[in-house]
Amino acid sequence: MVAYTAVSEMVAETGEQFNDIVAEAKAEIAHPTKAKPSN
């Protein structure tokens, strides 16, 4: 059970990062002239 919880948390964090990447990509597509430098 402990391993399952650890994996679930890891997947949740990866999902959040993925959502951030998707949001940034959509923003760049919507406003190509306002492309901000990546971190």
Q: Which DSSP string do the residues of 9-28 spell out, in sequence order?
A: HHHHHHHHHHHHHHHHHHHH
* pLDDT over threshold 80, residue 5: yes
Please give the torsion angle defined by the CA atoms of residues 21, 32, 27 and 13, in that order, rounded to the nearest 10 degrees.
Answer: 10
pLDDT cut 90: percent of the chain above it: 38
Tell me which H or E stretch contains 3. Answer: helix 2-30
Q: Can you give the pLDDT at residue 18?
A: 92
